[in-house]
Amino acid sequence: MQGKRVAITGPTAGIGRETALELGRRGAQLVLLCRNVAKGEALAGEIAERGGSPAEVVHMDMASLASVREAARAILASGEPLDVLLNNAGLINTERRESQDGYEETLAVNHFAPFLLTGLLLPALQRAEAARIVNVASDAHQFVRSMGFEDMQAQENYRTFREYGRSKLANMLFTLSLARRLEGQGITVNCLHPGAVSTSLGGQNPGVLSRLLPVLLKPFFRSPEQGAQTSIYLCCDEAVADVTGRYFVRCKAVKPRPWALDEGAAERLWEYTQDCVDFVYPQ
């Protein structure tokens, strides 16, 4: 990874942090996309202290499409190629909330934001000799059996795990569609399940339950270090240099549930998302 430029969303905690530290150790030039710039700068300092290259910190609030656009402009401004884009950030809400653009926040942050960011950064990825897009999805796609297009914004009925599972299914369908669209362009697109990992995911929710769950479940979780291994593998390993459109668990390609391979649903989701984020991918 020496000298390769890598952009990571959600790098300041959990899996993202461990991935950033390891990629920095391997010599990558990191672009840390953070909602909390102070935390990003602290991480950049830690990477430098460990002998890594200086990391660039870019502010990005994934609940705001305008912020995603501004972050993409900052990354593109240098004119440098982007070798890897790791769409790592995510959230889970215990109650329905809306993003700054008025969309259901789980879907907005977990799917709309990476869809838009990836599309905007395609020119930089296309300038790289061989680029990789890595999307952190989840086996939570098993919580649902479809995207539920009849109520995409969960206005009629909100269920925490259904909305989270639907957003992760969206990550997988996005991977399927994008891999097909980029075929032959020297850019691979893969997604992964990091495992049940003890991280800060969901920590923004109020209430005693959200604070107790990580404590109660910690003995059953993998550590963030373990959870980061598949992300690191897909970002770095030569064994997957030419692999695209696949779903990985514990560094192995596996077959997901059938509804995560539904090309019709993937196309419908693609069109719906383009309309919502007001961005059409270049042909």
Residues involved in catalysis: 164
Q: How far is CA 245 from CA 16, 40, 164, 182, 237, in A?
A: 22, 30, 22, 10, 16
- Encoding tokens for residue 252? 């192995």
Rounded to whole angstroms, how far apart are CA atoms 68 and 56? 16
Closest to 76 (Cα-Cα) out of 102, 93, 58, 64: 58
Q: What is the per-residue DSSP string for the chain?
A: -TT-EEEEESTTSHHHHHHHHHHHHTT-EEEEEESSHHHHHHHHHHHHHTTPPPPEEEE--TT-HHHHHHHHHHHHTT-----EEEE------SS--B-TTSSBHHHIIIIIHHHHHHHHHHHHHHHSSSEEEEEE--GGGGG-SS--GGGTT-SS---HHHHHHHHHHHHHHHHHHHHHHTTTTTEEEEEEE--SB-SSTTTTS-SHHHHHHHHHHGGGSBPHHHHTHHHHHHHH-GGGTT--S-EEETTEEE---GGGS-HHHHHHHHHHHHHHHT-----
